[in-house]
Amino acid sequence: MIIDYQLTPSVYEPTLCNTLSRTAQAKGTSVKVHLDVDTGMNRGGIWYTEAVDFLKWLTSLDGIEIEGVFTHFATADQPDKSHVHLQLERFKSVLSNLSELNLRPPIVHAANSAAALTLSDSHFDTVRVGLSLYGVYPSSEVRRASPVSLRPALSWKARLICLRQSMQGEGVSYGRTYIVDKPTWLATLPVGYADGYSRALSNRGEALIGRQSVNRSERFAWMGPSFGLHRRKGNRQISPYASAMRETWRLPSIRLQKRREPSRMRF
């Protein structure tokens, strides 16, 4: 599928690289790849001290076009930048060694949203923005430090389908994780995890009804019209990425590349 749909995978594991090479050759084509270098994220990628040797080996595989090399920052959205600078230093050492061997790929990237907004030294040829593409800062620290003003670019709304009063002591929805402590009006929205909301968000957040902010309680019956549904009403705004939501799921990212002359590297 990667080759048939001309996708560009990140690679760091020999088995996948060999499979891509064999498949590409069998189809009479080539596949572009980006080498994932682990400089301190410790979640995936080839360890930075082994990256040069791995890329040298990768050049020996027919059907593989090494288009890019990248790393990913673990703490770019935090006040303490020491680990980010350590990762950047490690990555630059890899790039320097690749350049000396004339093996540096044409596309180098490292910056996620936080680094793209606050760490210009990490921009290289392209940046990978995720949350900020939607007008959302990855953290309050990035909001404070960023020279760029962002405004949320999406909204999520739903209509109330049920309004009822529940008695004290009653549990609400799956797991009964919210117990009504006094007679309470409950409003139900037709929104749930099938629509992309994580169950980890139960019993947190708030929503807007007109200009009125309401708390969200319970699990998936959504007390209030919803919680974390993003909406702006006048000067009032609820962001689905504040607090809990930002900690539980991520948005798709997109790569923005600087304008440059077309370049190709084929091994």
> Per the structure, how many domains does the chain have?
2
Tell me, letter by letter, the H, E, C secondary structure of 182-228.
CCEEEEECCCCHHHCCCHHHCCCCEEEECCEEEECCCECCCCCCCCC
**E strand residue ranges, 20-113:** 31-38, 46-47, 64-70, 107-109
Q: Is 87 a domain residue?
A: yes
Both structure tokens of 40 = 């301190």
Q: Is 154 a domain residue?
A: no
Residues 27 and 100 placed together within one structural domain of the fold = yes
- Residue 159: pLDDT over 60: yes
Please report the pLDDT score of residue 256 as a whole number.
47
Higher local confidence (pLDDT), 263 or 154 = 154
Please report the pLDDT score of residue 164 as a whole number.
87
| Mean pLDDT confidence for 250-257 | 45
Residues 120 and 209 placed together within one structural domain of the fold = no
* Secondary structure class of 169 (helix, strand, coil): coil
Please report the pLDDT score of residue 217 as a whole number.
44
C-alpha to C-alpha distance for 123 and 117, rounded to whole angstroms: 10
Q: Is 155 a domain residue?
A: no
- Residue 204: pLDDT over 80: no
Q: Is 141 a domain residue?
A: no
Contact 23, 29 (CB under 8 A): no
- Residue 223: pLDDT over 50: no
- Residue 238: pLDDT over 60: no
Residues 15 and 123 placed together within one structural domain of the fold = yes
Please report the pLDDT score of residue 154 as a whole number.
77
Please report the pLDDT score of residue 153 as a whole number.
86
Question: Any long-range contacts for 209-218 (C-beta under 8 Å, 24+ apart)?
Answer: 211/236, 213/238, 214/187, 217/172, 217/178, 218/172, 218/173, 218/177, 218/178, 218/186
Query: What confidence category does residue 227 fall into, taking pLDDT thresholds of 50, 70 and 90?
Result: very low
Residues 113 and 24 placed together within one structural domain of the fold = yes
Q: How far is CA 138 from the centre of its chain?
A: 10
- Residue 89: pLDDT over 90: yes
Q: Is 139 a domain residue?
A: no
Q: Is 137 a domain residue?
A: no
Please report the pLDDT score of residue 246 as a whole number.
43
Query: What CATH number is associated with residue 224?
Result: 2.40.37.10
C-alpha to C-alpha distance for 117 and 130, rounded to whole angstroms: 12
Please report the pLDDT score of residue 152 as a whole number.
86
C-alpha to C-alpha distance for 142 and 201, rounded to whole angstroms: 23
| Mean pLDDT confidence for 122-151 | 93
- Residue 250: pLDDT over 60: no
Query: What CATH number is associated with residue 37?
Result: 3.20.20.10
Please report the pLDDT score of residue 46 as a whole number.
97
Higher local confidence (pLDDT), 244 or 187 = 187
Both structure tokens of 200 = 């980890």
| Mean pLDDT confidence for 111-125 | 97
Q: Over the chain, what is the mean pLDDT?
A: 82
Q: Is 142 a domain residue?
A: no
Contact 229, 191 (CB under 8 A): yes
Residues 171 and 122 placed together within one structural domain of the fold = no
